[in-house]
């Protein structure tokens, strides 16, 4: 994963990871796929996922925005801005839930457009990060991994699309 800096705390590593996530989200033009555990999304300071998804949804009607999360109730309580964006843009953003095994590390997989991807893992006081901006082959592999998890997920009962 990423190189470690001597003396860095987990908070420092998470802050740098949040900056990397934001940089990739800022570059998104059409596709943002996020698979994460809710607690890791909460631990990342300053991540602008809601703003990025909203910007891409407004930019093109062909946006492909997906959020695969482990705990939609936690998302509602800890990320009200993201929840508001998801419920406001119900036709643009798809949300599914996937219950991970309890002993798995907190991880975040981000797939942006056709060339960028990021994988972040936090486990036992360590943070690992790998991010690539121009890696179509890696992006394809990350997208395939995301698709497998997406297929195993189920529609979020808390954030489901309500047709009136």
38-72 confidence digits (pLDDT tens): 889 999 999 999 999 999 999 998 999 999 999 88
Interatomic CA distance for residues 112 and 63, integer angstroms:
11
Backbone angles phi, psi at 65, to 5 degrees: -115, 120
pLDDT, mean over the chain? 89
Please tell me the predicted confidence (pLDDT) of residue 125.
81
Residue 7 has pLDDT above 90, yes or no: no
CB 139 within 8 A of CB 130: no
For the residues of the chain, what is the DSSP string, one character each? -PPP-TT--HHHHHHHHHHHHHHHHHH-SSEEEEEE-HHHHHHSTT--HHHHHHHHHHH-TT-EEEEEES-HHHHHHH-HHHHHHHHHTTTTEEEEE----TTSPEEEEEEETTTEEEEEEEETTEEEEEEESS-HHHHHHHHHHHHHHHHH-EE-SSSPPPP-
Please tell me the predicted confidence (pLDDT) of residue 163.
45
pLDDT band at 97 (very low <50, low <70, confident <90, very high): very high
**Helices 80-88 and 49-59: angle between axes, nearest 10 degrees:** 20
Lowest mean pLDDT among 95-99, 129-133, 149-153: 95-99
User: Computed from CA positions of residues 23, 127, 84, 143, in that sequence, does the dihedral angle turn out positive or negative?
Assistant: positive
What average pLDDT does range 139-151 have in this prediction?
96
Pull the structure tokens for residue 75.
Answer: 């998302």
| Superfamily of domain 10-155 in the CATH hierarchy | Endonuclease Chain A (3.30.870.10)
pTM above 0.85, yes or no: yes
């Amino acid at each position: 994963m990423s190189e470690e800096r001597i003396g860095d705390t987990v908070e420092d590593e998470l802050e740098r990871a949040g900056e990397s996530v934001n940089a990739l989200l800022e570059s998104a033009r059409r596709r943002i796929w996020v698979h994460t555990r809710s607690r890791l999304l909460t631990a990342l300071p300053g991540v602008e996922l809601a703003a990025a998804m909203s910007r891409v949804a407004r930019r093109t009607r062909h946006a492909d925005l997906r959020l695969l999360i482990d705990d939609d109730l936690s998302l509602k309580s800890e990320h009200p801005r993201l929840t508001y964006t998801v419920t406001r843009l119900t036709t643009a953003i798809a949300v599914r839930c996937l219950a991970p095994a309890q002993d798995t590390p907190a991880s975040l997989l981000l797939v942006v457009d056709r060339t960028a991807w990021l994988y972040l893992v936090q486990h036992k006081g360590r943070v690992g990060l790998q991010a690539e901006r121009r890696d179509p082959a890696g992006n394809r592999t990350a997208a395939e991994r995301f698709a497998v998890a997406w297929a195993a997920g189920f529609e979020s009962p808390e954030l489901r699309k309500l047709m009136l």
